[in-house]
Structure 1
Amino acid sequence: MTGLETLAGTATAGTLYGIGVGPGDVRYLTLRAAGLVSAVDVLAYFAKKGRVGNARRIVAPLLAEGRDERRFEYPLTDEVPAESPEYHATMGAFYRDTAGQLAGLLRQGRSVGLLAEGDPFFYGSFMHMWWRLAPDFPVEVVPGVTGMSGCWTRANLPITWGNDTLAVLPGTLEEERLVERLRLTDAAVIMKVGRNLAKVRRAVDAAGLLSRAVYVERGTMQDERIVPLAACQAATGAYFAMVLIAGQGRRL
């Protein structure tokens, strides 16, 4: 057994692993995550229609040929509002079916690693599997570097100082609520920008924070883009994008 295998540990039969694979660069995986990618019997991941899947792409350099994989394709991503009845019905059915398939593998005594971009417990689809399967099967969650951490590091932007408060906000919030929340915090991370870019920019401007806001697209990935939010005039942004507003607390 190599030193890496000793540190990372092995996979246990019949166990579901939520493997946080970080923000985009495979080098940001933890030792435990990297070890499990190779050790589990089945590697599973979610993917958008017609796409390989970002989590799968991240770990590709670690995979040997012939791995047993399960690809679960989202029926929807951002085509319809997440608050709509259609989204809830469609995605609820999808997650129930996916959990059933994973349960079947676990009952066979197979270890399953379900990849999660960033951290599994931070806006992760893995959570929908966790609450369905944890009552009946052993589950281990392997934390990962969050997308926001990777992005503020790549932007060279210390996000909080001293007693700064940090708000993490979804760009899907109504514009007035975004403005309200932004006015109450010292620093902010706005996730789920994508099709909400124009609204997010207006809200940041209305809160008086546009001069401090930075737009990060595909942070830590090969095609990352980091620019002031004020320079983003497009109505929509990339699916993997966020806005960062650093705090200005006391610097010693």
Structure 2
Amino acid sequence: MTWKLQLPASAKQVFFAFSVVFAALWLAPAQGELSRSKLSVHFIARYTAGGRQIVSAGPRLIKVLDLGEDMRRAVREYKRLYPNGVVVLRIYTPIRYSRRDMPEERALHFWENVLWPPLSRLPEAERRLIDYLEGPNEGDTTPTWESLDDARWFARFWTALAPLMRRHGFRPCVGSIAVGNPGGSPEEVEAKFAAFAPALRVAKQLDGAWSYHAYTIRYTTNADEEIWYSLRYRKLHEI
């Protein structure tokens, strides 16, 4: 499984991809210098000896799930070794919203009940170590891509949530789009993603990012096939 992140920059957009992959660690940089590799790690629950090896290699980005002690330790160690490295945080929640809900109200609810409580318990110095903050993951919490109305709801939700993140010192990482989404015919894909575009514009204005989970099914090197899976973000760029 890989994860694709688009980061707006002044000259051009920069992409980072990361996965739980141990290859290319020979690209380890000198102390404090970030690796040239685009490979890194998504930490979930545990900070193992293997994880510490990856951190010591200086990946340009790491992602952590939740704020357990191991995850906090990984972030602190990474930023101590590589202050210019990028940390992305996702907070898990089982909460589910409906299209009948007002997306702006649910964005505020998500901030006040899912994101801010664990973040507020961190020492301020640790909060400053987190660069990008994610929101709902792969449509688990919100209406997302089932219909054009869902895509519009999702855009309104993120248009309200992203400024809340930025106001509290975090750069928003919007989308967390599951592989192969948005689905449908080429015309439906274009319409759904165009409906989500306002959220992307807000994220860009806030110096944020958007993410597409670029894993795959068959692990091929055939770009014509992978354009529907690991490379699908390229199709979204064309819209």
Q: Is the structural similarity TM-score above 0.5?
A: no
Larger RCO, structures 1/2 (Cα 8 Å, 6+ apart): 1
Higher-Rg structure is 1
